[in-house]
Chains A and B, each alone.
Chain A
Amino acid sequence: MSAIIELKDVVTFYDLIIALRSISISIEQGSITAILGNNGAGKSTILKTIMGLISRQPSKGDINFLGGKIAGIPTEQIVRLGISYVPEGREVFSELTVKENLLMGAYTRKDKKGVKKDFPWIYNYFPILKEKENQWAGTLSGGQQQMLAIGRALISRPKLLLLDEPSLGLSPLLVKEIFNIIKAINKEGVTIVLMEQNAKMALTISDYAYILENGRVGIKGPSVELLEKKEVRELYLGIYSGSSRNRYQNIKKK
């Protein structure tokens, strides 16, 4: 049992606005870790901080990946260490073809032959991408773009895959499909960090979970335990039991 990545007392600012207030998170190698939180809690900021996408941040704290410090080093180098990022809202290169998008995902890889062999591997997860191989990514549907964004991150053969709200704006059926694929990717040995507002789905597939509130870690623990916790059920899952259900019904009656 060892951590693949660790954030220690990380503080991140956007200019003068503080977004992360001393975050400490440890991700177990080979696990799926969910980080939950409402809009504005700081989920995206955590990933951008790890990737080094916010200039001169984190302003305090340490980030260790496989034992080495990565806070403050350029993004290109962080990617080369084996971290891959699926941004919120897909952010595919809309005027590149599906194939070119995947090629950009493999930008850091030197083994041309290996990359060529990995295309079928990606298309096996997402057969629709094979069909649309030569179309501009901008012409894909939201769900297909999400698949492309995941494929693009996967083809770099990462050790750690960071996903920012992959369920955003997708139909429940598609969300289920995507989450199944995330599980399958994890089975292949890729450690996964999953940022989600869709707490129910995320807690069902993850091993461990953190709940963010206002740039701080609130509740944390194994996902199975959080699923049973009363405050989690009420606040994040919308499941009311016992007295709270009555209270809700009382409100409804009024």
Chain B
Amino acid sequence: MFDFVQMLVSGIASGSAYALMGLAMVIIYKTSKIPNFAQGEMALAPSFFAYMLIDSYHLPFYIACILTFGFSVFLGCMIEIIVLRKAQKSNVLGMIIITIGLEMILLGFVSWKFGAEPKSMPFPISPYDSIPMKDLIKGTDLIIGTLELFTFTIALILMIIIFLFFKFTKFGIAMKATQQNQVIARAMGINTRRIQMMTWAISSFVGCIAGLLVSSITLHPYMMWDPMLKGFSAAVLGGMASLPGSIIGAYIIGILESLFGGYISIEFKSVVSLMIIVVVLCIKPSGLFARHYIKKV
């Protein structure tokens, strides 16, 4: 029982990072109709940016974080303006190749600037801090990692903000309208180009938070590869176009992989997410939570 709950907790923590990566990808996919394979590296670059501010410029952690948020928004806007807006004439496949190219460029740049050896982010919470919970369930003491709790809390807050943004703000609703019908959104007076750019900015910001959370455990150029892949898996699991779907998908993957690692094989832990995808796509090709409305004539 103790083991099980402990594994559940760590599954939820890693699921949180996957959920943010998945959300970031879905937000872009819904507006631009492309899976953004540069998402991982768009989270990597800000993490190293924060590291640089702290390590070389000796800025306090929280200030560095705030500057990093700004940097991630700027990065998202720049990528949209410089690369994707120009490439809008090319087809989906071309756009996918462009995002893969971007990924390589960002990865190459980070590796060249900082080297491939792992660094350690001066994160205020270390992976070894924990909150003991005595008698949580009758007779069992549970140890919850502070970092795990922190990761989950931050992810939850961010998800709630995203939900409120899309539900209640005019700009958020306009973003959904643009995703559904760009031409008609323009006819409503919505500046769809700005919406497109903001989509990339928001997504980049969400990814940046995921990157910073991951960097608390491990900081090296390939650190986002695994969370990106899992986030993408979660998004596909959720039907690629559903925000709640990708969140649920991410927690399913996080928890299953943690249980699999605990009970069966730690080596094959990472394969679980891909196995889930294959199985789900065989049974329900549109993903678990895809919604389709048939247009009435």
Q: Which residues of A contact B (CB under 8 A)?
A: 51, 53, 74-76, 79-80, 85, 87, 89-91, 93-96, 100, 103-105, 107-108, 136, 138-142, 145, 152, 156, 169
By CB atoms of chain B within 10 A, which of A91, A107, A108, A140 has the most? A107
Partner of A169 from B173, B188, B297 at Cβ < 8 Å: B297
Would B189 and A89 count as touching, CB distance under 8 A? Answer: no
Judge whether B164 is part of the interface by a CB distance below 8 angstroms.
no
Query: Quick one: which of B160-213 are within 8 Å of A by CB?
Result: 170, 173-174, 176-177, 180-181, 183-191
How far, in Å, is A227 (CB) from chain B's closest CB?
A: 30
By CB atoms of chain A within 10 A, which of B174, B176, B187 has the most? B187
Which B-chain residue is minimally distant from A47 (CB atoms)? B187
Give Cα A91–Cα B187 distance, bound, in whole angstroms. Answer: 11
Would A95 and B291 count as touching, CB distance under 8 A? Answer: yes
Would A104 and B291 count as touching, CB distance under 8 A? Answer: no
Give Cα A89–Cα B184 distance, bound, in whole angstroms. Answer: 12
Q: What are the nearest 10 A-B pairs in CB distance? A: A79-B189, A138-B293, A108-B189, A75-B186, A94-B293, A91-B184, A85-B187, A93-B180, A93-B177, A104-B188
Would A107 and B186 count as touching, CB distance under 8 A? Answer: no
Which A-chain residue is minimally distant from B295 (CB atoms)? A94
Would A103 and B170 count as touching, CB distance under 8 A? Answer: yes
Give Cα A76–Cα B180 distance, bound, in whole angstroms. Answer: 17
Which B-chain residue is minimally distant from A54 (CB atoms)? B183
Judge whether B113 is part of the interface by a CB distance below 8 angstroms.
no
Would A93 and B176 count as touching, CB distance under 8 A? Answer: yes
Q: A51-B187, A76-B191, A89-B297 are in contact. Are A107 and B174 (CB under 8 A)?
A: yes
Would A104 and B296 count as touching, CB distance under 8 A? Answer: no
The proximity string for B residues 269-297 relative to A, scoring 1 for CB distances below 8 Å and 0 otherwise, is 00000000000000000000001011111
Give Cα A95–Cα B58 distance, bound, in whole angstroms. Answer: 48
Give Cα A113–Cα B174 distance, bound, in whole angstroms. Answer: 19
Residues of A within 8 A of B181 (CB): 91, 93
Would A76 and B189 count as touching, CB distance under 8 A? Answer: yes
Would B180 and A104 count as touching, CB distance under 8 A? Answer: no
How far, in Å, is A76 (CB) from chain B's closest CB?
A: 5
Residues of B within 8 A of A145 (CB): 296
Would A76 and B186 count as touching, CB distance under 8 A? Answer: yes
